Structure 1
């Protein structure tokens, strides 16, 4: 898995790490069940602090994209690509709504009205 960070990107590094891993999963570089390199190796390859990498990995774990298992390391969760793609679309909708003046609560009300 080859991860790259964009030095011109103004997002926090941990978000860039999470985004790079999401992209690798979406592009098929990592499949469900695949084990990721240790955080220390990722931090050395990216030239950033290991705690920054861990923060990005934890965010992906919290999203259900990665699984942490003692003795097995960090693996790609089953359904991670679909979930990651859906989360990306949701983020886009939230950003579009904010640009148009809608709050997250407004969006939730809209979604409830659909069903």
Structure 2
């Protein structure tokens, strides 16, 4: 799994880490059941603090994309490939809406009214 962070990205580093892993899952680089490298290895490869990587991993766990198992490390969840693609599209929608001046509540109302 090859992850890269952009110095031009204005998002916090932990969000960039989560986004890079989310993208790797969505693009099939990491399949459900695959084990991720330890946070310390990821942090060295990305040039960020291990706590930054852990924060990104916890966010993905909370989204249901990763599973933390004692003694087995961090693995990609069984439904992660489908869910990851959808989560990424939702994030893009929120970002596009913000650029156009719409808040999350506005987008929710639009979605509720959609057929």
Structure 1 and Structure 2 fold alike (TM over 0.5)? yes
Partner of 1:64: helix, strand, or coil? coil
Q: Distance in 1 between matches of 2:109 and 2:82?
A: 24
Aligned residues between the structures: 115
TM-score (norm 2): 0.88
Does residue 92 of the first structure (1) align with residue 92 of the second (2)? yes
Structure 1: gaps spanning 5 or more residues: none
Q: Distance in 1 between matches of 2:110 and 2:85?
A: 21
The 1:7/1:96 distance shift into structure 2, 3 A limit, reads closer
Summarize deviations over 1:84-107 as a string: whole Å, max 9, x none.
111111122222333333332222
Q: Distance in 2 between matches of 1:88 and 1:76?
A: 16
The 1:49/1:106 distance shift into structure 2, 3 A limit, reads same
Q: Distance in 2 between matches of 1:67 and 1:30?
A: 13
Q: Distance in 2 between matches of 1:98 and 1:10?
A: 14
Deviation at 1:33, TM superposition (A): 0.4
Structure 2: gaps spanning 5 or more residues: none
TM-score (norm 1): 0.88
Deviation at 1:34, TM superposition (A): 0.4
Deviation at 1:20, TM superposition (A): 1.1
Aligned-pair Cα RMSD in Å: 1.6
